[in-house]
Structure 1
Amino acid sequence: MAERIAVLLVSLALLAGCTGPVAGTAKPASLSDDDRARFREFYERLNKAGDEGASQQQRLLKETQHPDFRQKTCDLRGATIKVEPTWATLRTDADWAPPGEKAHPRGNVYVVAVTITLSRDGAVVGSQIGSLHVVHLDGQVYGFAPCLGG
């Protein structure tokens, strides 16, 4: 079971846009207060949906998937995630493309350091620190749904 949990966490990290070091100079993004509020709301909605259950969070992940990558959603198999961003690390990442893709997503791409906690049936399965990418496009914030391998 521990091996399966480790595989799930690694898959979550790799396919959610979590990566190792992010190239470039780390300087905070200059965003309007409204745009910052949109980023905060994105993660608040994601976490609230997870509190309501796996199916609600899955639905929200599909709804907020970047429009160019809607076909790339996947099933979390009954698990939920809680994402806790470290807002001081939010910055642009203009050269990033989703794993396995060559094209940069439309919109302004940002990266933020996060702690992701994976839960199943109300029990914490694991936690990991990494980076997540989000995109600001046409006044909306979009993400990239995590996939659990296997």
Structure 2
Amino acid sequence: MGDRGRLRGALLTVCALLLAGCGSAVPGAARPLRVTDVERQLVEGYFTDLNEAGGQGMAEQRELLRDTQHPDFREDECELPSGTLRVQPTMSTLRLDADWTPPGEDEHPRGVVLVVAVTVTLLQDGAELGSQIGSQHVVLLNGKAYGFAPCAG
């Protein structure tokens, strides 16, 4: 290969590197565009724990909701609905939601933000008062799943 061939090869390499760098720069490590098995297990565990605490009573579920409130949003107190919640996620809808910010906030929460479709049922003394279908965000941070307490009104 002559000088011209080496120059062409070097030019192609530089072009490939430049094209690979196109787009917006994002700090941190690259990650797949799909939810990993570990992330899925953490989210499933979050909902399992939430429902088990609800089965033990209102005080236990409220304590769990406080403990699993995202650390950056713990001072945001709210009035929780009276009764317990049963939350059934549709795990096939679980996906990344990197652009989401909590209502009334300007910043994205720290961690990996995921969203899943859920059916939430409000129970009082074991009786169903009502159900609602919606989306719930869960944030994974330092190997733990965090949520945002469901406020009444």
Do both share a fold (TM > 0.5)? yes
For residues 77 and 111 of structure 1, the distance between their equivalents in structure 2, rounded to whole angstroms, comes to 22
Equivalence for 1:79: 83
- Number of residue-to-residue matches in the alignment: 121
Contact 1:58–1:75 under 8 Å retained in 2 = no
Does 2:131 align with 1:127? yes
Contact 1:55–1:78 under 8 Å retained in 2 = no
For residues 105 and 123 of structure 2, the distance between their equivalents in structure 1, rounded to whole angstroms, comes to 28
Does 2:50 align with 1:46? yes
Residues 33-82 of structure 1, C-alpha deviations (whole Å, 9 max, x = no match): 22221111100000000010000000000000000001124342531111
For residues 81 and 35 of structure 2, the distance between their equivalents in structure 1, rounded to whole angstroms, comes to 35
For residues 77 and 31 of structure 1, the distance between their equivalents in structure 2, rounded to whole angstroms, comes to 31
Shift of 1:133: 0.4
For residues 58 and 73 of structure 1, the distance between their equivalents in structure 2, rounded to whole angstroms, comes to 12
Higher gyration radius (CA): 2
SS across alignment from 2:54:
helix
For residues 105 and 130 of structure 1, the distance between their equivalents in structure 2, rounded to whole angstroms, comes to 20
2:61 corresponds, among 45, 57, 73, to 57
For residues 144 and 59 of structure 1, the distance between their equivalents in structure 2, rounded to whole angstroms, comes to 13
Equivalence for 1:12: none
1:147 corresponds, among 128, 146, 151, to 151
What 5-or-longer segments of structure 1 have no aligned partner?
Answer: 1-28
Shift of 1:147: 0.7
What is the root-mean-square deviation in Å for CA atoms of aligned residues? 1.3
Equivalence for 1:19: none
Residues 119-147 of structure 1, C-alpha deviations (whole Å, 9 max, x = no match): 12221110011000010111111000011
Q: How many percent of aligned residue pairs carry the same amino acid?
A: 55
For residues 44 and 141 of structure 1, the distance between their equivalents in structure 2, rounded to whole angstroms, comes to 12
Equivalence for 1:102: 106
1:81 partner amino acid: L
Contact 1:111–1:132 under 8 Å retained in 2 = yes
